[in-house]
Structure 1
């Protein structure tokens, strides 16, 4: 099965479609200038994307959002540009339970997030309904949180699900 990329300014989770589609040449120009664009990965035969890469280098931001078969955000990696590379700053995991709601209409019943700092601090937060629990750890090796800055279209390292 082959996959293919499409480009747009942003992805609309409610309508589950691209907002302001871009040609690859337009997206490449935005990558070069640092302006916002989104690369959306589809697998042949799937109506919903597998993931999207949001890039806005002018503000030092990049995110990889893995999506489930119902078009909902399932796993989000948020990176910050630091020292000429990308640092994985936040991981957020969404759990929708038995919900069959699609895309942006679904509310996660549980969210788990991890916030990292380059100096080795990790904070875990779990939200279930109105309940929030938090735990922090220090002296964590953050070497695996660094990613080289990708060239346009060369997202393979960035979109690794297992980290």
Structure 2
């Protein structure tokens, strides 16, 4: 993976906003300020995922992108007792749409909200309809991650969390 850094990612232009040097991004990581790490499989290739980190507010997110630069899977974490807890996992589907990045509207969205005590709420939005269900006693042990050191995002960006 090749990592580049910026303050934020522009979903419409699919480009970094306010690029950062690795040293500037590392300083933001240490101070807790927001920064975004963008991963590409090779130099000059389309990004595959983004990691947003803002430790001063206890926030981290991993967004996996599809071949059209659209968000396809998003994990949102909160800092709880010095560890990151996966609070929300959201899957987006765009059907046959060829629209790029932030211009595309998902036709199907499925999200899972978790609490540390094992409550999970599943919400599905499709065709203008929304349904939800809730379960208790869900094993959330795989939802916990250590706060990563700067640049060491491997555990955080695991796609399979079952």
Fold shared, TM-score > 0.5 on shorter chain:
yes
Shift, 1:141, TM fit: 1.3
Shift, 1:44, TM fit: 1.6
**Which residue is equivalent to 1:114?**
112
Report the secondary structure of 1:153's partner residue: coil
Q: Distance in 1 between matches of 2:45 and 2:13?
A: 13
Unaligned runs of 5+ in 1: none
CA shift digits 1:53-98 (9 cap, x unpaired): 0001111100000000110000000000000000000000000000
Q: 1:46 to 1:110 in 2, by over 3 A?
A: farther
Report the secondary structure of 1:31's partner residue: helix
Contact 2:2-2:43 at 8 Å conserved across structures: no
Q: 1:129 to 1:95 in 2, by over 3 A?
A: same
Report the secondary structure of 1:147's partner residue: strand
Task: Give TM-score scaled by structure 1 length.
Answer: 0.97
Whether 1:129 aligns to 2:130 is no
Q: Distance in 1 between matches of 2:30 and 2:43?
A: 31
Considering only aligned residues, what root-mean-square deviation do their CA atoms show, in Å?
0.9
Q: Distance in 1 between matches of 2:84 and 2:152?
A: 14
Q: Distance in 2 between matches of 1:84 and 1:68?
A: 32
How many pairs does the alignment contain? Answer: 161
1:10-159 alignment runs, 5 A limit: 10-44=8-42, 47-159=45-157
Report the secondary structure of 2:12's partner residue: coil
CA shift digits 1:3-38 (9 cap, x unpaired): 200000000000000000000000000000000000
Unaligned runs of 5+ in 2: none
Task: Give TM-score scaled by structure 2 length.
Answer: 0.97
Q: Distance in 2 between matches of 1:45 and 1:97?
A: 29
